[in-house]
Structure 1
Amino acid sequence: MAKIRLGILGGGNDSLIGILHRVAANMFEQFEITGGVFNVDHDKSLNFGERLGLDRSRVYKNLEEMIRQEKELPEDKRIQAVSILTPNFLHYPMAKQLLENGFHVICEKPLTTTLQEARILNEIQAESNSIFAVTYTYTGYPMIRQMKSMIANGEIGSIQKIDVQYYQGWINPLIHDKDKRSATWRLDPEKSGISCCIGDIGTHAFNMAEYVSGMKVEKILADLNYLYEDNPMDIDGTVLLRFGENVKGVLRASQIATGEENNFTVQIYGDKGGLKWEQENPNYLYLLKEDQALQVLKPGHAFLSDFSLEGTKLPPGHPEGIFDSMGNIYYGVAMAIKDKVKYTGAYPTLGDGLRGMSFIEKTVSSHKQGNIWIKMQD
């Protein structure tokens, strides 16, 4: 079948997230980058489009121009799906316009800056035929998908404890300087929303806890850290999780964990065993059992789950990383667009993004109300 024509909003120049999405989109040869708006400066956007080998007429000044001119093209020529790689405050207005005009959407997280905006998108998408993915990137790792399959198959028994941690230190050099913290867009509520740390990386951990366990968080209790009175955004936090009466967990997220790079770990314990995974060593899934030696599972072996193997592109012993993980999500979206979805969880949905926004708002609310338990369900 023909490749899906993809447009991109943002992600130009030396953007890390931009190259991650472009490589992922090309990985399974399911997408063809056709055009977009790569920068608010049109000249810079044109220069970047030329680097990608795009037709200058498909590099637009803004989203409105892109939608208008693409819809004037024959259906077999126009952009079909659009990736939103802009700062948080632009996610909602862009996604809304795209859904209302019939485009499929791949959106960076957090989905929006408010829960109400996420609800509106959910209502619009429910009435459309558009596929909508939110890039909780780490769900695409083969060994995370293996973990999900093993838990679903009962290999560690009934879940008793869930522990997710996401530690970074990147904001530490900025937060202690008043001018620097005031100039950082992630610490600006107008651009980032009500949360920095929980909104940026805590939602990854929340989504992962629900994704691999197959369970939903019922209640949360949060304790956040802002460090300075003039800083309106959390940069560290601990959230207690209740999945049920006897299934509890903890989510720890920090951007002031000095020296940490991207330390995301997932630990799930059942009554028959436990599973551990570390994002900085993503090819290793550790299986723990009572009175048995520690087992280390690696991707690419025939004894692993079909879901894990479908996301594995190299033979055993050849490392796969975050580009591959994002590529698996893009592949899942492509299969959905082409009506060939095989596995639940092949890509994070708008519903996952909506739930992430609910988690952000309830976490901040729990903290501000004096660290109290709050129900996740509306």
Structure 2
Amino acid sequence: MSKIRLGILGGGEDSLIGILHRVAANMFDQFEIVGGVFDVQHEKSLKFGEKLQLDSSRIYKDLDDMIAKEAKLPENQKIQAVSVLTPNFLHFPMAKQLLENGYNVICEKPLTITYEEAKILNEIQQKNNTIFAVTYTYTGYPMIRQMKTMIANGEIGKIQKVDVQYYQGWINPLIHDKEKRSNTWRLDPEKSGISCCIGDIGTHAYNMAEYVTGLNVDKVLADLNYLYEDNPMDIDGTVLLRFQENIKGVLRASQIATGEENNFTVQVYGDNGGLKWEQENPNYLYLLKEGMALQVLKPGHEYNSEFSLEGTKLPPGHPEGIFDSMGNIYYGVAMAIKDRSKHEGAYPKLNDGLRGMNFIEKTVDSHKKGNVWINLED
């Protein structure tokens, strides 16, 4: 089967996330970027499309223009999947319109601004049965997939404790300046939703906790930090988690952890061992056992699971990075579109984004109600 024709919304000239998605889409030779809308200013979009050596007739003014003109093309030329890389508030209307027109969708997180919007997308996607991926990027790392496999196989026994931490310090230069914190879209509820820190990076940690353990979080108790009274959105927080079978965990997320860059760590402890992983050192998965020396598992070796090795593109000793992780997600989407069997967890589905939005809203609700336990909906 030929390459899947991919369109992109957003992700233009100055976008870090745009670079990540374009590299990921090309990594396994499964997608071909053919057009899209890269910027709200059409001239900028055209210029960027020219830089990517795309046909200028496929660089559209807006989403309406793209859908209308793509519909007139022969079936073997039409865009088949679209990546939504715009700010949060545009995710829902764009994804909804794409789903209603039969497109497969790859959407940045958080999925939407509200949980209700996410439920609407879920209903539409279930009716038309297209592929919908939410890019919780870190689930694509080979050693995270190894971690998931080992836990599922019972190699650390019954889970007793889950600890996920995501610390950054990037918002420090903005949050302490009244004018700057008032003028960034990340701290604008109209554009970002009700949460900054939990909505941006806390949702990654929440998704990861469920992904690697295979368990759902049933309840949350949150204590969030806004730092200034005129700041409407959290920039730091701690959330206690209760999973199925009353398994307990903790989620710590911060964007004011001074000096931290992208410190995302995942730790799961069972009654027969523990596993630890750090995003800044993604090649190492640490296995802990009582009375035994620490074991370090690395990607590319035969002792790893088939699922881990499938997402490993380099020989042992060569670093696997975030581009590879996102590339693995795009590969999983491609295989799903092409109707070939894939491992469960090959890409985060719309339901993962739906659960993420539920988590964000219930976490904020828990904090506002005086740090109380709140049940998550099924």
Task: Return the TM-score normalized by structure 2.
Answer: 0.99
Structure 1 Cα separation of the partners of residues 342 and 89 of structure 2: 33
What does residue 258 of structure 2 align with? Answer: 258
What does residue 169 of structure 1 align with? Answer: 169
Matches within 5 A, 1:1-378: 1-377=1-377
**3-state SS of paired residue (1:98):** helix
Structure 2 Cα separation of the partners of residues 246 and 230 of structure 1: 37
Structure 2 Cα separation of the partners of residues 245 and 156 of structure 1: 17
Tell me the amino acid that sits aligned with residue 46 of structure 2: L
Superposed CA deviations along residues 338-366 of structure 1, whole A, max 9, x for unmatched, are 01132000000000000000000000000
Structure 1 Cα separation of the partners of residues 197 and 303 of structure 2: 38
Tell me the amino acid that sits aligned with residue 188 of structure 1: D
**3-state SS of paired residue (1:127):** helix
Q: CA deviation at 1:246?
A: 4.0
Structure 2 Cα separation of the partners of residues 214 and 106 of structure 1: 23
Structure 1 Cα separation of the partners of residues 4 and 337 of structure 2: 9
Structure 2 Cα separation of the partners of residues 155 and 252 of structure 1: 26
**Counterpart contact for 1:160–1:246, Cα < 8 Å:** no
Task: Return the TM-score normalized by structure 1.
Answer: 0.99
The sequence identity of aligned pairs, in percent, is 82
Q: CA deviation at 1:129?
A: 2.7
Q: CA deviation at 1:245?
A: 4.6
Structure 2 Cα separation of the partners of residues 11 and 265 of structure 1: 27
Structure 2 Cα separation of the partners of residues 365 and 194 of structure 1: 10
Structure 2 Cα separation of the partners of residues 245 and 159 of structure 1: 10
Q: Which 5+ residue runs of structure 1 have no aligned equivalent? A: none
**Counterpart contact for 1:332–1:341, Cα < 8 Å:** no
Structure 2 Cα separation of the partners of residues 246 and 136 of structure 1: 26
Structure 2 Cα separation of the partners of residues 129 and 357 of structure 1: 21
Structure 2 Cα separation of the partners of residues 57 and 244 of structure 1: 52
Structure 1 Cα separation of the partners of residues 58 and 30 of structure 2: 20
Q: CA deviation at 1:66?
A: 0.2
**Counterpart contact for 1:167–1:257, Cα < 8 Å:** yes
Structure 1 Cα separation of the partners of residues 358 and 52 of structure 2: 37
Structure 2 Cα separation of the partners of residues 175 and 196 of structure 1: 12
Structure 2 Cα separation of the partners of residues 129 and 247 of structure 1: 34
Structure 2 Cα separation of the partners of residues 50 and 341 of structure 1: 36
Q: CA deviation at 1:296?
A: 0.1
**3-state SS of paired residue (1:218):** strand
Q: CA deviation at 1:247?
A: 1.1
Q: CA deviation at 1:377?
A: 1.9
**3-state SS of paired residue (2:283):** coil
Tell me the amino acid that sits aligned with residue 253 of structure 2: A
Q: How many residues align?
A: 378
CA RMSD, Structure 1 to Structure 2 (Å) = 0.6
**3-state SS of paired residue (1:284):** strand
- Give structure 1 regions of 4+ aligned residues with deviation exceeding 2 angstroms: none
Superposed CA deviations along residues 255-314 of structure 1, whole A, max 9, x for unmatched, are 000000000000000000000000000000000000000000000001110000000000
Structure 1 Cα separation of the partners of residues 58 and 198 of structure 2: 36
**3-state SS of paired residue (2:54):** coil
